[in-house]
Amino acid sequence: MLNALTVDVEDYFQVAAFESHIDGQQWDIYPQRLEENTQRILDLLARRGVHATFFVLGWVAQRYPVLIRRIVAQGHELASHGMRHVRVTEQTPELFLRDARESRLLLEQVGGVEVLGYRASTYSIGKDNLWAFAALLDAGYRYSSSVYPIRHDLYGWPEAPRTPFWPSGESGRGVVEIPIATLSWWNRRFPCGGGGFFRLYPYLFSRWAWRRLNDREGIPGVFYFHPWEMDPGQPRISGIGVKTRLRHYLNLERMEGRIEALLSDFRWERMDRVYASFIGDRA
CATH classification of the domain holding 45: 3.20.20.370
pLDDT in tens, 108-127: 999 999 999 999 999 999 99
Q: Residue 157: what are its φ and ψ, rounded to 5°?
A: -135, 80
Is the pLDDT at 283 greater than 50, yes or no? Answer: no
Q: What is the pTM of this model?
A: 0.96
Tally the domains of the chain: 1
- Name residue 164's amino acid: P
Structural domain including 109 reads: 2-279
DSSP category for residue 257: H
pLDDT in tens, 125-154: 999 999 999 999 999 999 999 999 987 766
User: Which 3 state secondary structure label does DSSP give 134?
Assistant: helix
> Which residues, other chains included, contact 9 with Cβ-Cβ below 8 Å and sequence gap of 6+?
34, 38, 54, 55, 56, 57, 60, 81, 226, 227
Average pLDDT for 236-247: 89
* Percent of the residues in the chain that have a pLDDT greater than 70, as a whole number: 98
